[in-house]
């Protein structure tokens, strides 16, 4: 029996077969939410199948250590993490996760997965961890990035109607090398028991900006970003006069631009940031860069964005954003640009 703290009110716990009823209740609360992203064999539909799923993982744990672990929030199972596979002979392991929508935005999956990765490298001699996800699963890809994994390859769908898949990966040398150098979101920061408010705020900010990327075949679904905002949040673009928009008003035209073919190979990323947290509010000021191709013409640019946050029962949420592209920037269309 163990319990690993993951932050305020949250912990990582064993998910044994006798907890099948709790597991099934968790699945019932997030069934529709996770169905597009997880294997059908995982999404149990009754108590017997829920126990079968858990028993399968515990049999694998007895053989290789490839088990399943639950994430509890305030005593309720809200999701979990697992080794999809773990092969000591090849030195490769695959990790996976699931989570209820109400528990998103707290960094729980990132910290729980980091525990698994660290254990696999240290205790089982695994040399490479992979993360297999659909290209359209923006949250999953953002989690891989926060963990310090890098894009490895894309799986071309054999069925024309199937969605493309991506593999993200990290080696043991990369995992510990970045941690020792203090770079990125490696084990030292992500697996920290008391993940700081600043890290959680930064994670939300990074997820927002990264969602606008359509480079490398990435699918864009900006509708998923609305859950990062409090009701009534506004986004203000520097202009004369300033443009004040609701979240929906801001996202809708950018969704069309990023999926309609006019703007391609677009990506936007932070180049610097300053984050300040005071009790239940936070401010984040970033510089961003961007690049892409609009109507066949390549461009680069940059700008400044100010983000305001509020601590809510669901985690840190954005209350407002102000942004301004640099005067020389052209062709934008992402998180900050036109």
Read off the pLDDT of residues 188-245 as tens digits, 9 standing for 90 and up.
Answer: 344 443 356 787 888 888 888 888 988 877 788 999 899 899 999 999 998 878 899 9
pLDDT of residue 224: 86
| pLDDT reported for residue 186 | 41
Helix 172-181 to helix 108-123 angle, to the nearest 10 degrees?
120
CATH architecture of 198-325: Roll (3.10)
Burial class (CB in 10 A: 0-12, 13-18, 19+), 17: middle
* pLDDT on residue 107: 82
Angstrom distances, CA of residue 187 to CA of 84, 193, 265, 296: 20, 11, 31, 41
- pLDDT reported for residue 146: 83
Query: Residue 177: its pLDDT value, please?
Result: 74
CATH class of this structure's domain 4-195: alpha beta
Contact by Cβ (8 Å): 16, 77? no
Residue-range domain boundaries for the chain:
4-195, 198-325
What are the average pLDDT values for consecutive 10-residue runs of the chain, which has 338 residues? Answer: 76 93 94 85 91 94 92 94 94 95 85 91 93 88 87 64 80 76 44 59 85 84 91 91 93 94 89 88 93 92 95 89 80 52
What pLDDT does residue 28 have? 93
């Amino acid at each position: 029996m163990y319990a690993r703290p993951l932050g305020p009110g949250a912990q990582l716990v064993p998910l044994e077969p006798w907890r099948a009823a709790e597991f099934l209740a968790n699945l019932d609360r997030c069934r529709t939410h996770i169905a597009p992203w997880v294997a059908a064999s995982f999404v149990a539909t009754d108590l017997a199948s829920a126990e079968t799923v858990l028993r399968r993982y515990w049999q694998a744990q007895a053989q290789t250590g490839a088990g399943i672990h639950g994430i509890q929030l305030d005593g309720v199972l809200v999701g979990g993490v697992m080794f999809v596979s773990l092969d000591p002979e090849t030195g490769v392991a695959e990790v996976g996760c699931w989570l209820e929508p109400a528990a998103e935005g707290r960094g729980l999956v990132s910290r729980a997965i980091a525990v698994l990765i660290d254990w696999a490298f240290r205790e089982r001699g695994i040399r490479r961890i992979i993360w297999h996800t659909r290209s359209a699963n923006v949250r999953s890809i953002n989690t891989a990035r926060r963990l310090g994994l890098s894009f490895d390859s894309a799986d071309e769908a054999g069925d024309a109607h199937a969605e493309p898949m991506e593999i993200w990966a990290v080696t043991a040398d990369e995992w510990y090398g970045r941690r020792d150098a203090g770079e990125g979101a490696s084990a030292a920061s992500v697996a920290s028991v008391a993940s700081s408010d600043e890290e959680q705020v930064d994670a939300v900010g990074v997820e927002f900006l990264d969602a606008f990327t359509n480079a490398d075949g990435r699918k864009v679904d900006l509708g998923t970003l609305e859950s990062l905002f409090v009701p009534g949040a506004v986004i203000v673009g520097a202009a004369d006069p300033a443009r004040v928009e609701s979240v929906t008003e801001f996202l809708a035209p950018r969704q069309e631009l990023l999926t309609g073919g006019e703007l391609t190979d677009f990506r936007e990323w932070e180049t610097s940031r300053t984050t300040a947290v005071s009790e239940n509010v936070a401010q984040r000021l970033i510089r961003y860069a961007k690049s892409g191709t609009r109507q066949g013409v390549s461009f680069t640019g940059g700008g400044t964005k100010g983000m305001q946050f509020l601590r809510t029962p669901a985690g840190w949420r954005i209350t407002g954003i102000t942004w301004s592209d640099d005067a020389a920037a052209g062709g934008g269309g992402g998180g900050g640009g036109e």
